[in-house]
Amino acid sequence: MRFSESLKKNKDFQLTYKKGKSYANRYLVMYVRKNGTSSNRLGLSVSKKVGNSVVRHRVTRLLRESYRLQEDYFRRGYDLIIIARAGAKDKSYHEIESAMIHLGKLHHIYTQDTQQDSSDNEMEMKR
């Protein structure tokens, strides 16, 4: 189920940069700010420092897909801006997803229960 929209307007990006809180890891930077609605708005930024257009679009697709698949575990009511760092250019989907989840946990907006994950993995292993 889709709960998010895109963050598109420059003023929304600027407001999130100014008023939001940021955390970073080796591959990504995430800015988060409450938006007062019941849905999240996601903005992605991949600069030319990351690589040429093919590389930038690949990283953008990886970020969008990572968020889409983990969307149910993010709390709602936030503007999120995810900025790709140069180190993200040759990383796999799983490394990008892991970096995004790490930042979500630092911001306390990622709520997946790790105990449930391990029980799900055990169930699949039994099959």
What domain range includes position 85? 4-110
CATH number of the domain at 85, please.
3.30.230.10
The pLDDT tens digits for 31-71 are 999 999 999 999 999 999 999 999 999 999 999 999 999 99
The pLDDT tens digits for 1-28 are 566 789 999 999 999 999 999 999 999 9
Report yes or no on 119 lying in a domain.
no
Report yes or no on 116 lying in a domain.
no
Report yes or no on 122 lying in a domain.
no
The pLDDT tens digits for 99-126 are 999 999 999 999 976 444 444 444 444 4
Report yes or no on 16 lying in a domain.
yes
Concatenating the DSSP letter of every residue in the chain gives: ---EEE---HHHHHHHHHHSEEEE-SSEEEEEEE-SSSSEEEEEEE-TTT-SHHHHHHHHHHHHHHHHHHGGGBPSSEEEEEEE-GGGTT--HHHHHHHHHHHHHHTT-B---HHHHHHHHHHHHH-
Report yes or no on 69 lying in a domain.
yes
Report yes or no on 121 lying in a domain.
no
Report yes or no on 64 lying in a domain.
yes
